[in-house]
């Protein structure tokens, strides 16, 4: 359990503040992450990594000479927002382009890609490599998630960037390294989010979970705990069974502790892992044993192997210096100028009509009600999400809606129209919540805001059109379809009903009431579905019989707005 904190909401940011203070010779704090405190030459490829917090030393612990130029930090187990990724990349860019690397999780893929598109529009050449090393998460390599293999791929690509290689070559090496990296892990006990009283999952006494995830996802199977020698045989055997084509005999090996397993235990295990590798004819080059990609206080470990070749081996042994990994001679550096963060400027709202400003105040009131409702539902939504996901949905929805409510209030107070109030809430929600749900709610609210505009009092038909615009954006960029067991399964019937009822002349409240009923039923029926995308997909069977947290929260939000409409006789 995570005992030391000043409140769950500020845990990740406060931990990052402390980390940067301790390691000020290597890193400096910037908004949404950290970057090197040492200067890098103009024209160097900027290697930017990131993901949710709770995995220390990933990701901030790998910023430094020979490794990453910067790291983006989301909340605990939640991907950083697209704005956060964009802001950090803008700081890190030195004119040589940007390579973005992260674990292959839906929220990270969505947010990092949105940020990359914006960077490219501004003329910054940006490449993306989503790391896919976890063989337990999918048969198809492209659908696998990233776990401790993140470190290996980062080290190899970053060494190439440090040597002055151009972006094309650095990106090629990153993809090549990812193709040759495999990981498999086990867990003896679950992890507990800061402020929570129970772990996200548990393992029966005397058993271990196979194929764990690093966001609190439970394993894909449970077996009796093995002795060290037998556990090593299991780990090595699983990786050898999935050996990449053309693999050689030299490997980079990382035996990784997940946060609650002692270093001495890992050393005991390594003796048998090393013997297993030798017996398979493999030579381990500069192996690493310790905590490299953790999951808060999870008990367990993972083994990662990268099959090296003539290109990768010298990159693996190349010098580097960071808070968590240092090897070889010190790379000469000079201090970089300290980053001065500009104060946020007051927003300039588009011209709006009195009716739209009045509607904007109603939107702000609705956002406040949503925030209160989602704060009260945080634990339950997290419990639902933890059935097959990582349990962060409740936290993300509570934090995102609270930020959205503050932004909406400020916009409405500042005289913004309904459209601008919605888009202000969207940006704040997405940035604070992070993760897949934060990105999708940000996209949906932003699209709805643009559709509503800032002139006139929106009619029921206008609201239905805005809801359709939001749905289209979520499906286009999020990739979900009906039956995938996501919020789309509740949002689609909600929108269709809202359109039909409003087109038939129903008032907004009556149309919304009918749509809420349909959406609530649809959310409940997601219990019968198996997830086909996202973090829950590898553990699909575990979610059978339980509704999707995203669909449930969407229906809950719709019901909350209905209460406001009925009270005000909209």
Residue 19's CATH number: 3.40.50.10440
Residue range 478-524, pLDDT digits in tens: 888 999 999 999 999 999 999 999 999 999 999 999 999 999 999 99
Q: Which residues contact 140 (CB under 8 A, 6 or more apart)?
A: none
Residue range 88-147, pLDDT digits in tens: 999 999 999 999 999 998 889 989 988 998 899 999 999 999 999 999 999 999 999 999
Report the domain count for the chain: 3
**Pair (367, 490) in one structural domain:** yes
Q: How far out from the chain centre does Cα 148 lie? A: 15
Asked whether residue 337 is assigned to any structural domain, the reply reads no
Cα torsion angle, 386, 390, 394, 395, sign: positive
Q: Give the CA distances from residue 452 to residues 45, 417, 419, 566, in Å, rounded to whole numbers and listed in that order.
A: 41, 9, 5, 21
Q: Which residues contact 6 (CB under 8 A, 6 or more apart)?
A: 14
Asked whether residue 171 is assigned to any structural domain, the reply reads no
Asked whether residue 144 is assigned to any structural domain, the reply reads no
Q: By residue range, what is the domain housing residue 517?
A: 354-568
Domain boundary among 317, 340, 374: 317
Asked whether residue 329 is assigned to any structural domain, the reply reads no
Question: How far apart (Å, rounded) are the C-alpha atoms in residues 116 and 153?
Answer: 20
Catalytic residues: 215
Asked whether residue 331 is assigned to any structural domain, the reply reads no
**Pair (3, 97) in one structural domain:** yes
Asked whether residue 345 is assigned to any structural domain, the reply reads no
Residue whose C-alpha is closest to residue 484's, from 541, 534, 444, 555:
534
- CATH code of 386's domain: 1.25.40.340
Largest alpha-carbon pair distance within the chain? 78
**Pair (312, 248) in one structural domain:** yes
Which residues, in sequence order, are bridge partners of residue 426?
none
Domain boundary among 131, 146, 169: 131
For the stretch 16-36, what's the b/e string if a residue is b when 16 or more beta carbons lie within 10 angstroms of its beta carbon? beebbeebeebbbbbebbbbb
Which residues, in sequence order, are bridge partners of residue 546?
none
> Mutual orientation of helices 549-568 and 488-503 as an angle, nearest 10°?
30
**Pair (362, 502) in one structural domain:** yes
- CATH code of 247's domain: 3.30.1180.20
**Pair (484, 545) in one structural domain:** yes
**Pair (112, 215) in one structural domain:** no
**Pair (454, 378) in one structural domain:** yes
Sheet containing 33-36: give its strands across. Answer: 27-30, 33-36, 70-76, 46-53, 98-103, 126-131
**Pair (519, 398) in one structural domain:** yes
Asked whether residue 141 is assigned to any structural domain, the reply reads no
Q: pLDDT tens digits, the chain, 570 residues: what are they? A: 778 888 777 899 999 999 999 999 999 999 999 999 999 999 999 999 999 999 999 999 999 999 999 999 988 888 898 889 999 999 999 999 999 999 998 889 989 988 998 899 999 999 999 999 999 999 999 999 999 999 999 999 999 999 999 999 999 999 999 999 999 999 999 898 888 888 888 899 999 999 978 887 777 889 999 999 999 999 999 999 999 999 999 999 999 999 999 999 999 999 999 999 999 999 999 999 999 999 999 999 999 999 999 999 999 999 999 999 999 999 999 999 888 776 655 678 999 999 999 999 999 999 999 999 999 999 999 888 877 666 778 988 999 999 999 999 999 999 999 999 999 999 899 988 877 888 899 989 999 999 999 999 999 999 999 999 999 999 988 888 999 999 999 999 999 999 999 999 999 999 999 999 999 999 999 999 988 766 555 555 667 888 999 999 999 999 999 999 988 765
* Residue with tokens 């997405």, as numbered in its chain: 430
Domain boundary among 302, 317, 332: 317
**Pair (404, 454) in one structural domain:** yes
**Pair (127, 243) in one structural domain:** no
**Pair (115, 247) in one structural domain:** no
Residue whose C-alpha is closest to residue 534's, from 145, 135, 136:
145
**Pair (483, 535) in one structural domain:** yes
Asked whether residue 115 is assigned to any structural domain, the reply reads yes
């Amino acid at each position: 359990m995570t005992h030391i904190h000043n409140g769950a909401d500020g845990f990740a940011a406060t931990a990052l503040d402390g980390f940067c203070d301790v390691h000020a010779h290597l890193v400096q704090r910037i908004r949404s992450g950290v970057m090197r405190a040492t200067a890098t030459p103009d024209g160097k490829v900027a290697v930017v990594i990131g993901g949710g917090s709770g995995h220390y030393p990933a990701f901030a612990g790998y910023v430094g000479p020979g490794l990453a130029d910067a790291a983006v930090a989301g909340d605990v187990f939640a991907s950083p927002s697209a704005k956060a990724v964009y802001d950090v990349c803008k700081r890190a860019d030195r004119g040589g382009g940007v390579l973005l690397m992260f674990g292959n999780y839906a929220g990270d893929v969505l947010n990092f890609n949105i940020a990359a598109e914006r960077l490219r529009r501004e003329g910054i050449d940006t490449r993306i490599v989503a790391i896919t090393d976890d063989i337990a998460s999918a048969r198809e390599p492209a659908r696998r998630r990233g776990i401790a293999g993140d470190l290996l791929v980062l080290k190899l690509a970053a060494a190439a960037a440090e040597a002055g290689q151009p972006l094309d070559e650095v990106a090629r090496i990153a993809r090549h390294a990812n193709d040759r990296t495999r990981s498999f892990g086990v867990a003896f006990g679950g992890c507990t989010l800061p402020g929570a009283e129970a772990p996200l999952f548990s393992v029966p006494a005397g058993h271990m979970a196979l194929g764990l995830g690093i966001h609190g996802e439970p394993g894909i199977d449970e077996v009796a705990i093995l002795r060290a020698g037998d556990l090593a045989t299991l780990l090595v055997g699983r990786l050898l069974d999935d050996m990449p084509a053309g693999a050689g005999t030299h490997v980079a090996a990382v035996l990784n502790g997940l946060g609650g397993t002692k270093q001495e235990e890992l050393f005991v295990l390594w003796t048998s892992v090393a013997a297993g590798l030798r017996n398979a004819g493999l030579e381990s080059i500069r192996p690493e044993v310790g905590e490299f990609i953790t999951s808060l206080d999870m008990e367990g470990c993972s083994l990662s192997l990268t099959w090296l070749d003539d290109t990768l081996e010298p990159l693996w042994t190349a010098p580097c210096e960071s808070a968590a990994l240092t090897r070889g001679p010190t790379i000469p550096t000079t201090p970089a100028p300290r980053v001065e963060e500009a104060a946020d400027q007051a927003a300039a709202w588009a011209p709006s009509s009195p009716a739209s400003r009045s509607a904007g105040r109603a939107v702000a009131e609705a956002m406040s009600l949503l925030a209160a409702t989602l704060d009260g539902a945080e634990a339950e939504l997290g419990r639902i999400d933890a059935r097959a996901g990582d349990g962060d949905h409740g936290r993300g929805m509570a934090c995102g809606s609270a930020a959205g409510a503050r932004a909406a209030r400020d916009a409405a107070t500042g005289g913004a129209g309904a459209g601008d109030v919605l888009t202000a809430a969207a940006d704040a929600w997405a940035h604070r919540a992070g993760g897949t749900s934060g990105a999708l709610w940000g996209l949906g609210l932003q699209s709805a805001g643009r559709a509503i505009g800032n002139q006139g009092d929106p009619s029921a038909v206008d609201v239905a059109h805005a809801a359709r615009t939001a749905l289209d954006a979520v499906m286009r960029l999020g990739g979900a379809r009906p039956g995938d067991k996501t919020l789309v399964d509740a949002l689609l019937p909600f929108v269709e009903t809202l359109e039909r009822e409003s087109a038939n002349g129903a008032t907004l409240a009556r149309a919304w009431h009918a749509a809420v009923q349909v959406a609530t039923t649809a959310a409940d029926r997601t219990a019968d579905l198996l997830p086909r995308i996202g973090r829950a997909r590898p553990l699909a069977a575990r979610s059978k019989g339980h509704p999707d947290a995203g669909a449930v929260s969407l229906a809950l939000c719709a019901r909350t707005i209905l209460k406001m409409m009925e009270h005000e006789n909209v």
